[in-house]
Amino acid sequence: MDLVNRFLRYVRIDTQSADEAGVTPSTPGQMEFVKMLRTELEEMGLEDITLDEYGYLFATLPANTTRTLPTIGFIAHVDTSPDVTGKNVNPRIVENYNGTDIVLSSEDHTILSTSEFPELLRYVGNDLIVTDGHTLLGADDKAGVAEIVSAIAYLQAHPEIEHGKIRIGFNPDEEIGLGAHKFDVKLFGCDWAYTMDGGEVGELEYENFNAAAARITIKGRNVHPGYAKDKMLNSMRVATEFIQLLPKNETPESTEGYEGFYHIVGIKGGVEETTISIIVRDHSADIFRKRKELLQACVKGLNDKYGADIVTMELTDQYSNMREVIEPIMYVIDIACQAMREVGVEPEIKPIRGGTDGAQLSFKGLPCPNIFAGGVNFHSRYEFVPVQSMEKAMMTIVKIAELVAKR
């Protein structure tokens, strides 16, 4: 089964993860998918195949050399985003794309247009796998899964390519931030690994945000509005005041590159109580610390103004920038860059404006930068993936294995 057929088969399985499910994996479709993958890996003759109760699937391609080489790994997540439905995905291939708008759904007037998505024009002449306009595609990260399995099959079919022991891992619930939580790094047993979960062809990432989540609770005081003078304290007004204390130009819609932000992701409440949910992001550990200190200062300032404990905050660190783990072993990045160039791809090293399983795994003892899987417009019914980008990703995996043996 070739790369494209694998991918088309994988995306038809509904594996959306679900927030607040309270179980791992968070949806039954993910376990269905990894069980199917386990059977496929068994039929390929891989070794040390394990699938635990949480949906973490590991397998080994044994070394084909007697030389002592590092054990490397390749990882992808099996879930798709909760943002857009992944049920009844119906992909099709636009062969030799000619640079015009692509009608995804004529009845819904859903169009993948070059004016709204100018990156389409970078792929003229490619074969694009698109949706039917009613679901996401699932290239994030089933493209990564298909690329890893296909690369292993390629290495099996080409024993002349010397390589060491290779571990592959597929995990659930990345899209809800839980992909690495129950990942058994010791069992996986690698010197380092790569997540195949990046975007467009050439992307290589080993820097990500430091991240925290804040939940601010504001207690108000409600009395009859006709008799409220000097008595009422409207928690919603205090919440608005809290928000106004945050820098107005440090939001997701106002920042890019290495710039961090405060992002208000939810507000809920009434006169007596209001809660604000905020996520805090920054690549710099020092600026990240100062951002959290600003939130604490806002809480203190409003309590000084309205009374002690009117405003309380729960502040939780979520993940850290994996750069500090990767920098001492930059050869893992050098190998990936060389591999890309040898398959005809120019590496584009850039920071992740988000998180990745690789960041959490890096701090659990498994250095794990992120390589492109090739998809575009993730988490969207406008998602697409060029076949040629997937092929480049697959061959990058093969070339990394070869280069590790040569080094």
User: What residues are annotated to the active site?
Assistant: 79, 174
What angle is formed at CA 251 by the lines to CA 248 and CA 257, rounded to 5 degrees? 125
Pairing type for strands 370-372 and 192-198 reads: parallel
Pairing type for strands 102-105 and 110-112 reads: antiparallel
What are 273's two structure tokens? 């109580």
Cβ proximity of 129 and 3 under 8 Å:
no
What are 336's two structure tokens? 């990936």
Pairing type for strands 370-372 and 72-77 reads: unpaired
Cβ proximity of 331 and 215 under 8 Å:
no
218: nearest Cα among 302, 299, 298, 311? 311
Amino acid at residue number 212? A
Phi-psi region of 365 (alpha: psi -120 to 50; beta: other; left: phi over 0): left
Residues 6 or more apart whose CB falls under 8 angstroms from that of 88 comprise 14, 134, 135
387: nearest Cα among 36, 87, 127? 127
